[in-house]
Amino acid sequence: VPVAVLISGTGSNLAALLAAAARPGAPFAVCGVLADSEAPGLDHARRAGVPTAVVPLADFSDRPAWDEALAAAVRAVRPRLVVLAGFMRLVGAPLLEAFPHAIINTHPALLPSFPGAHGVRDALAYGVKVTGASVIEVDAGVDTGRILAQQAVAVHDDDTEATLHERIKEVERVMLVDVVTSLTSPP
């Protein structure tokens, strides 16, 4: 099953997906990687020979024009599933309508707690003792879609945002690969 991956960052979740797709008998293949900037994670795709495209918001006159361009770029790689793996922008109606119920997102907190761009920082600031990672179906809201999988991660007394985020990412990428595998496996 062809899967498109959208990233903004280092792409460690993307790297885990590419590694899983390379295993014999994998039910999915990464058919394209798209980013909203020259994200460092694009190198993982280039090394794997996967087509990439960069669609920067600044290149477009307004947000709706960018939304259309992003949707067109994703459609061009013909995925059946779209994975937001650290893609730090909200996706608009054109992409949601092109891939109904076929876009998922990974988030570094236990939703519905701590949605938005700073899930790790916000959980730490609140003082929770347990946080984690969530994989959700994407809808028009901010991290409001149906929860597909969650894993808890303990917060340590000496955690910084960086140390906690690294521990979350270790469970996050395994869980994301599991969800993508099950969504693309024959029933």
| Interface of this chain with ligand GRF, residues 27 to 46, rule: CB under 6 A | 41
- Per the DSSP assignment, residues forming a β-bridge with 133 are 151
- What is the spatial order of strands in the sheet that 130-137 belongs to? 52-54, 29-35, 2-7, 81-84, 103-107, 130-137, 147-154
Task: Count CA atoms closer than 13 A to 177's CA, side-chain side.
Answer: 18
151 lies in the site for ligand GRF, by CB under 6 A: no
| Interface of this chain with ligand GRF, residues 53 to 92, rule: CB under 6 A | 85-86
Is 88 annotated to bind a ligand? Reply is: yes
134 lies in the site for ligand GRF, by CB under 6 A: no
Helix, strand, coil shares, percent, the chain, to 5: 40, 20, 40
Stretch that binds ligand GRF, among 20-28, 51-59, 66-74, 106-114 (CB under 6 A): 106-114
Is 63 annotated to bind a ligand? Reply is: yes
Is 91 annotated to bind a ligand? Reply is: yes
Residue 141 in 3-state DSSP? coil
Supply the minimum distance, in Å, between the C-beta of residue 16 and ligand GRF.
8
Please give the residue ranges that form the binding site for ligand GRF (CB under 6 A). 7, 9-14, 41, 85-86, 106-108, 169, 172
